Structure 1
Amino acid sequence: MSLAFLLTTLIVVATPGTGTLYTLAAALTRGPRAGVVAAVGCTLGIVPHLLATVTGAAALLHAGATAFQVLKCAGVAYLLHMAWTTLRDKDALVTGEREAAPPSVRQVIVRGVLINILNPKLTVFFFAFLPQFVSAGEPHALVRMAGLGGMFMLTTFLVFAAYGLPAGAVRGRVLGRPRVMAWLRRGFAASFVALGAKLAATTR
């Protein structure tokens, strides 16, 4: 495991994006535990992209404009859906629909998984990123790529949890201030819209 890979992975994962935003919103809404659960969901959402890369399906996605566009449109639609439900729900920052009870662990994980599954940039990123750290003639290239992908997932979970735990810790102070909550909802909704617009503008 090279230092270059670890540093690059840390920079990529720590850069705020949809997964980070979702984890922060879950933590601020439901507490530190929900932040960690959201981090688990976002991490699991990496698995399909990693499998696509390791099995070579990423090459087809990279070459096929139609496949990329379909997945990209689904991702944009889901981000806009997250923005709408975040803005309209005055009881929670992020929900799939208006709920009388807090979302279950399964629901939080599923939403985190969808956030990352519906992001075609992850597959393209893995396709361009992982091979750089595998020698051309290496006999166990697939195993090494899988190991590197596993390290990327572990780093993702640790960084996202590091975002979510402090956010959950200050939740009590935030929830007691309706005006702060209102601005947070607007801020998260605007961020989801901005990320959706950024994804929509992505060509490859």
Structure 2
Amino acid sequence: MSIEFVITTLFVVVSPGVGALYTIAAGLGRGGRASLWAALGCTLGIVPHMLAAITGLAAILHASALAFEIIKYAGVAYLLWMAWSTLRETGALSVEAERAPKSVRKVITESILINILNPKLSMFFFAFLPQFVAADTPHAVMRMLELSGVFMAMTFAVFALYGLFAAAIRVQVISRPAIMVWMRRSFAAAFVALGAKLALTER
């Protein structure tokens, strides 16, 4: 395992993105348990992109403008829906006294979709992983799976830390209604900004 891969992966994972944002929102809105489920869901959302990169489907996505645009705008629409749900207090920042199983499924589903509907993640795997796997490497597929596993493990660990920290200050936040209103608006604005950034993304 090269130190260059670990450092680059850590930099990418730590950099704030929609997955980290959602996990933090889950921690603030529903507590530590929900933030861990969100971190897990965001991590699972990486799997389709990893498989696409390994099997070569990412190359097709990169070559097909139509496929890229369809996935991109589906992601934009989903981020805008997340922003609207957050403002209506039915999204990640809805505060619930009881955490029913349905709520857990909702958190996992939303967090998985957030990463699945992000075509740039496939592009990242397509361009990033091959740099650390030489063409003549024996069992290259297994090597890519190993590196992908490290990327996913680091993603879960970092997102879980983000979420648990948010959950730790949850009581201080939700005990002040004005702060909750400000937080919802801020998260909604962030989802809109990420959607706009994705809409402007080129292959």
TM range (shorter): over 0.9
Which consecutive unaligned segments of at least 5 residues does structure 2 have?
A: none
User: How many angstroms does 1:106 deviate by?
Assistant: 1.6
Q: Counterpart in 2 of 1:185?
A: 184
Match of 1:130 in 2: 129
- Distance, in Å, in 2 between the alignment partners of 1:114 and 1:100 is 25
User: Per-residue displacement from partner, 1:138-176 (whole Å, max 9, x unpaired)?
Assistant: 121111011111110000000000101111011011111
Q: Tell me the distance in 2 between the aligned counterparts of 1:94 and 1:65.
A: 35
Which residue identity lines up with residue 29 of structure 2 in the other structure? T
Q: What residue in structure 1 maps to residue 144 of structure 2? A: 145
Please report the TM-score for the alignment, with normalisation by the length of structure 2. Answer: 0.95
1:50-199 aligned at under 5 Å gives the runs 50-89=50-89, 93-94=92-93, 102=99, 103-199=102-198
TM-score, normalised with respect to structure 1: 0.94
Contact kept, 8 Å, 2:28 with 2:93, in 1: the verdict is no
Matched letter for residue 195 of structure 1: L
Q: Can you list the C-alpha shifts for 1:104-142, whole angstroms capped at 9, x where unaligned?
A: 222111111000000000000000000000012112111
Percentage identity across paired residues of the two chains: 63
Give, in angstroms, the shift of residue 34 of structure 1. Answer: 0.8
In the alignment, the residues of structure 1 paired with residue 92 and residue 5 of structure 2 have an alpha-carbon distance, to the nearest angstrom, of 35
Q: Which residue of 2 aligns with 1:17?
A: 17
RMSD, aligned α-carbons: 1.7
Q: Secondary structure at the match of 1:139?
A: coil
| Superposition misfits of 4+ residues, deviation over 4 angstroms | 99-103
User: Post-superposition shift, 1:94?
Assistant: 3.8
